[in-house]
């Protein structure tokens, strides 16, 4: 029997995630959105592309959450994206209501599902899903770190002219401008970034990574990034369905790791069929730890505004 993945929100990130996932041929897909006809139309269009690329999965669109019944994974992308000049935090209240509704509506049909949350502000929306569904924390993961780390990898590759396959970057912390690109742990074929890049160029890459989402928002003028966030979702879904025990940076619920409790925060997590199997802890310098704490303060402030 094929796995089933339902994507709530069939907008730019949701439908692009369906596209990347269909290409991987790892699950039947359901797209749900509040806009009438749109998820059905996108799903049919994608289904009609599959004969060309030779992939056998079914793609269904619906406005009814009943279509998601029995999902192995629920991906939540429903919500408003940023407009130029907006921070991710500006979306807090509107998206809390949407994510709460999407969680309540899906958990009743898929009580065993693992949730991957994308909606911003990401770390807080993952918290909303966890508390709304009352799930064990290993079943809720927020996507941010795969994307932020991929951006950093792309920028290093563009600077050095080295294959992205040789470049390993790790960005931790909240999904905001205070995220923490770990330059000490990031490397090119095992050579620490700090040894291969002059300080000024490395600093420029760190800065561009932190502002990577905003750079795309300013260029697009309407909406925010979707190819890379959706590719990140596909990688996480595959790691879970294939029980790969893959370690990726992602937002996990912390219970004391890195000195943090009761928040979702970007850390290295091992993903497998049960969701988050393990959270890894780096030996951080005082400076890195201070940067993480600063990033965590922002997430905590937003959680406190919600009265959960």
Ligand X SMILES: NC(=O)c1ccc[n+]([C@@H]2O[C@H](COP(=O)([O-])OP(=O)(O)OC[C@H]3O[C@@H](n4cnc5c(N)ncnc54)[C@H](O)[C@@H]3O)[C@@H](O)[C@H]2O)c1
Does position 233 interact with ligand X (CB under 6 A)? The reply is no
Helix intervals (H) in 111-210: 122-133, 145-160, 193-196, 199-210
Q: Cα–Cα distances in Å, from 73 out to 18, 177, 289?
A: 13, 29, 33
Tell whether omega for the bond before 121 is within 30 degrees of 0, i.e. cis: yes
Cβ-proximal residues to 246 (8 Å cutoff; 6+ apart), any chain: 235, 239, 270, 271, 272
Stretch that binds ligand X, among 113-121, 185-193, 196-204, 256-264 (CB under 6 A): 113-121
Q: How does strand 3-8 pair with strand 27-32?
A: parallel
| Interface with ligand X: number of residues (CB under 6 A) | 35
Residue of the chain from 5, 7, 12, 206 that contacts ligand X (CB under 6 A)? 12
User: What are the backbone dihedrals phi and psi of residue 47, each rounded to the nearest 5 degrees, phi first?
Assistant: -60, -40
Please list every residue from 71 through 90 that binds ligand X, using CB under 6 A.
77-82
Residues 95, 96, 106, 183: which binds ligand X (CB under 6 A)? 95
Query: One symbol per residue from 156 to 175: x for binding ligand X (CB under 6 A), - otherwise; what is it?
Result: -------------------x
CB neighbourhood size of 150 (10 A): 22
Report d(CA 101, CA 201) in Å as an integer.
Answer: 44
Beta carbon nearer to ligand X, 51 or 85: 85
Nearer to ligand X, 79 or 196 (CB): 79
CA proximity to 77, closest of 161, 156, 19, 159:
19
Nearest residue (CB) to ligand X, 60 versus 187? 60
Residue 189-228 contact track with ligand X, rule CB under 6 A, x = bound: ----------------------------------xxxx--
Kindly give, in sequence order, each residue whose CB lies less than 8 Å from that of residue 196, ignoring residues fewer than 6 positions away. Answer: 160, 187, 188
Please identify which residue in 34, 49, 162, 247 interacts with ligand X, judged by CB under 6 A. Answer: 34
19 is catalytic: no
Token digits of residue 286: 């005082």
Q: Which of 31, 92, 98, 116 binds ligand X (CB under 6 A)?
A: 98
Nearer to ligand X, 229 or 275 (CB): 229
Closest CB to ligand X among residues 14, 197: 14
Of 276, 249, 308, 280, which Cα lies nearest the Cα of 114? 276
Q: By the criterion CB under 6 A, which residues form the site for ligand X?
A: 8-14, 32-35, 77-82, 91, 95, 98, 101-102, 118-120, 122, 143-144, 147, 175, 223-226, 229
Question: What residues are annotated to the active site?
Answer: 175
């Amino acid at each position: 029997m094929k796995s089933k993945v339902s994507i709530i929100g069939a907008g730019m990130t949701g439908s692009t995630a369906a596209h990347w996932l269909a290409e991987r041929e790892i699950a039947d897909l359901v797209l749900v959105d509040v806009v009438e006809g749109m998820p059905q139309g996108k799903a049919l269009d994608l289904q009609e592309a599959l004969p060309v690329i030779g992939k056998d999965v079914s793609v269904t669109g619906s406005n009814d959450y009943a279509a998601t019944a029995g999902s192995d994974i629920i991906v939540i992308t429903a919500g408003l994206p940023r407009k130029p000049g907006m921070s991710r935090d500006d979306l807090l209240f509107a998206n809390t209501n949407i994510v709460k509704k999407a969680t309540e509506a899906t958990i009743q049909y898929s009580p065993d599902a693992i949730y991957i949350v994308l909606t911003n502000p990401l770390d807080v929306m993952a918290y909303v899903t966890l508390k709304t569904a009352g799930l064990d924390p290993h079943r809720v993961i927020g996507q941010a770190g795969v994307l932020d780390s991929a951006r950093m990898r792309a920028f290093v590759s563009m600077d050095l002219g080295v294959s992205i396959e040789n470049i390993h970057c790790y960005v931790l912390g909240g999904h905001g401008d205070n995220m923490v690109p770990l330059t000490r742990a990031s490397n090119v074929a095992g050579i620490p970034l700090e040894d291969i890049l002059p300080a000024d160029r490395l600093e420029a890459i760190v800065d561009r990574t932190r502002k990577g989402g905003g750079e795309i928002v300013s260029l697009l003028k309407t909406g925010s990034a979707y190819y890379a966030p959706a590719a990140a979702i596909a990688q996480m879904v595959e790691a879970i369905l294939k029980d790969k025990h893959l370690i990726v940076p992602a937002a996990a619920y912390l219970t004391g790791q890195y000195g943090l409790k009761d928040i979702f925060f970007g850390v290295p997590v091992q993903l497998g069929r049960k969701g988050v199997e393990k959270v890894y802890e780096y030996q951080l310098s005082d400076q890195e730890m201070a940067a993480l704490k600063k990033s965590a303060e922002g997430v905590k402030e937003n959680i406190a505004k919600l009265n959960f």
